[in-house]
Amino acid sequence: MKLYIYDHCPFCLKARMIFGLRNIPVESIVLQNDDEATPVKMIGQKMVPILQKDDSRYMAESMDIVHYVDRLDGTPLLTGKQNPDIADWLRKVNGYVNQLLLPRFAEAAFDEFSTPSARRYFTVKKEAAIGSFADHLAHSAGLIKKISDDLRALDRLIVKPNAVNGELSDDDIHLFPLLRNLTLVAGVSWPTRVADYRDNMAKQTQINLLSSMAR
């Protein structure tokens, strides 16, 4: 199987997680961010992740990919119950976190931005959505305090370091990509249980953190 992704993309991270959790080999192919032709040829629109299955057919939508891969052998891993408090926490944080993340994505050494045109494509598209990256970077301090406060609230919800609710569930697939990408933001205060969960999930899923690129 082949998985077409961007490294920064949280939806791509969801798809990558299930391959790591299940230790299933997959060829990951990073598309350039300004490559519209490839995904359009595959699924009719510019969107990732895209899974090319062993029968050469394409599958889009991150959670469809997650559930397809998880159930390949009939014994899924993601059998735990979900906690509505996790969904509420994610909904709250996702209301502002892109102001921290998108400007930093645009400057980071991700493979999908390996050409100037690809990086420029991302910047133009996302600034049109959230405003000037430079302005958001200049006002990071308040948002870093806000996410640090919200991470303290999340700390109380984590049951075990290897599964947020005690048993692997879709909540882990939704939560870890955000925590992984937040390691790109310097100055965030990580509570102990959140940090342990973040690090443990990185090992379980075989996905790198971004601390070495933090700014």
pLDDT digits (tens, 9 = 90+) for 106-141: 999 999 999 999 999 999 999 999 999 999 999 999
Q: How confident is the model at residue 69 (pLDDT cuts 50, 70, 90)?
A: very high
Task: Provide the pLDDT for residue 100.
Answer: 98
Q: Rounding to the nearest 10 degrees, give the CA dihedral for residues 119, 122, 124, 126.
A: -140
Task: Provide the pLDDT for residue 117.
Answer: 98
Rounded to an integer, the average pLDDT of 144-168 is 98
Structure tokens at 167: 């048993």
Task: Provide the pLDDT for residue 200.
Answer: 98
Task: Provide the pLDDT for residue 85.
Answer: 98
pLDDT digits (tens, 9 = 90+) for 6-18: 999 999 999 999 9
Domains detected in the chain? 2-70 (3.40.30.10), 84-213 (1.20.1050.10)
Q: Which of 205, 201, 177, 199 is nearest to 6 (CA)?
A: 177
* Confidence (pTM): 0.96
For residue 60, the SS3 value is: coil
